[in-house]
């Protein structure tokens, strides 16, 4: 009944996979059997999922008239009438309250502040920033950065500079790939996003190349860093680099040859190569961190 009513579609539950960014800090922290810390990390991921769904609902609310003219977005619940707008806004408010209560109860002030910062940032994005070329993608990337901080500083784990650098490059790569996919999907003068008129294929291809290179270089340097080797007791994380590179190349293939990359979460869940790449990377990281070998001479 929830699915038929459209409320579940309003939440966009497939996007909750982005909250996996929240758990990255816990994975690299290696204190996996610390149940209170695990509980805090999971609570942070749930809280972020709830507040992200609230933002999606609000975005659909303010865009509902324009979405009627969009070939894909015209099926959204508030456009089709499956959900009354004021009820959708009420649901968004409830989700925000639940997210903040969960954060305050389980993790405390730091996580609550991070969630509020994310909410403020996304509201700014919805009300104008999304129409500012390049800054629009930086704001989206900052949202991912806040997810990383929620799973580190938000629950009492010191944030790694390397983790944040890799995360921001990856988020920018995905953001510019999304804009490239949107641009190549438009026909004629029809622009579903006004900001797309300020982008060009050449510009976006350059930005994708730069940020993709940033991911590969920063992650490779992270695995080789003496601080990383000392912290984790192994230099074998280097062997996960080819997996990361393959994942980036696969995503570019989906972008240029399959017309994908407009919805990262859906692409991850629907493309088995990409999904297996992420699973393999995670399995390798956990296995290598669980069996420290020390640095080789």
- The per-residue pLDDT for range 157-190, each reduced to its tens digit, is 998 898 899 999 999 999 999 999 999 887 555 6
- Rounded distance between C-alpha atoms, residue 11 and residue 18, angstroms: 13
Least confident interval from 23-27, 53-57, 82-86, 215-219 = 82-86
The 3-state DSSP class for residue 234 equals: strand
- Rounded distance between C-alpha atoms, residue 265 and residue 271, angstroms: 10
Higher local confidence (pLDDT), 169 or 262: 169
| pLDDT above 90 coverage of the chain, percent | 73
Sign of CA dihedral 250, 255, 256, 259: positive
Sign of CA dihedral 57, 59, 62, 65: negative
Tell me which residue of 67, 48, 61, 47 sits closest to 91, measured CA to CA. Answer: 61
Provide the Cα torsion 244, 249, 251, 253; round to 10°: -160
Cα–chain center distance at 46? 14
| Residues 149-186: b if buried by 16+ CB within 10 A, e if exposed | bbbbbbbebebbebbbbbbbbbbbbbbbbbbbbbbeee
Average pLDDT for residues 17-25, to the nearest whole number? 94
Sign of CA dihedral 282, 47, 193, 85: positive
pLDDT of residue 1: 44
In this prediction, residue 3 has a pLDDT band, given cuts at 50, 70 and 90, of: very low
Average pLDDT for residues 260-271, to the nearest whole number? 92
Output the six-digit token pair for 207.
């930005």
How much is the mean pLDDT over the chain? 90
What DSSP designation does 295 have? -
Least confident interval from 24-38, 60-74, 237-251, 263-277 = 60-74
Distances (CA, A) of 262 to 35, 137, 215: 37, 13, 20
Q: Which residues, in sequence order, are CB contacts of 1 under 8 Å at separation 6+?
A: none
In this prediction, residue 16 has a pLDDT band, given cuts at 50, 70 and 90, of: very high
- Rounded distance between C-alpha atoms, residue 165 and residue 27, angstroms: 17
- Rounded distance between C-alpha atoms, residue 182 and residue 259, angstroms: 9
Least confident interval from 101-105, 254-258, 292-296 = 292-296
Alpha carbons within 13 A on the beta-carbon side of 163: 25
pLDDT of residue 5: 67
Contact between 261 and 203 under an 8 Å Cβ cutoff? The reply is no
- Read off the pLDDT of residues 41-54 as tens digits, 9 standing for 90 and up: 999 999 999 999 99
């Amino acid at each position: 009944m929830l699915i038929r009513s459209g409320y579940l579609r309003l939440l966009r539950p497939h996007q909750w996979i982005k909250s996996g960014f929240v758990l990255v800090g816990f994975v690299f922290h290696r204190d996996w059997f610390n149940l209170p810390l695990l509980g805090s990390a999971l609570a942070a991921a749930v809280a972020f999922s709830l507040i992200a769904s609230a933002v999606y609902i609000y975005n659909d609310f303010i865009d509902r008239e324009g979405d009627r003219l969009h070939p894909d977005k015209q099926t959204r619940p508030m456009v089709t009438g499956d959900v009354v707008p004021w009820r959708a806004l009420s649901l968004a408010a409830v989700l925000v309250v639940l997210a903040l209560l969960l954060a305050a109860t389980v993790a405390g002030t730091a996580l609550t502040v991070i969630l509020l910062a994310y909410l403020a940032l996304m509201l700014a994005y919805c009300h104008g920033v999304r129409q500012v070329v390049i800054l629009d993608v930086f704001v989206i990337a900052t949202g991912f950065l806040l997810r990383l901080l929620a799973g580190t500083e938000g629950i009492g784990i010191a944030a790694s500079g390397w983790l944040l650098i890799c995360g921001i490059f990856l988020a920018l790569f995905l953001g510019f790939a999304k804009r490239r996919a949107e641009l190549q999907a438009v026909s004629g003068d029809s622009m579903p996003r006004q900001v797309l008129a300020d982008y060009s294929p050449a510009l976006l291809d350059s930005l994708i190349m730069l940020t993709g290179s940033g991911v590969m270089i920063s992650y490779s340097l992270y695995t080789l860093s003496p601080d990383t080797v000392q912290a984790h007791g192994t230099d074998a994380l280097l062997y996960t680099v080819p997996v990361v590179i393959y994942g980036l190349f696969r995503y570019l293939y989906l972008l240029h040859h399959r017309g994908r990359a407009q919805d990262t979460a859906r692409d991850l869940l629907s493309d088995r190569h990409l999904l297996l790449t992420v699973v393999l990377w995670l399995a390798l990281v956990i296995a290598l961190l669980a069996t420290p070998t020390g640095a080789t001479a």
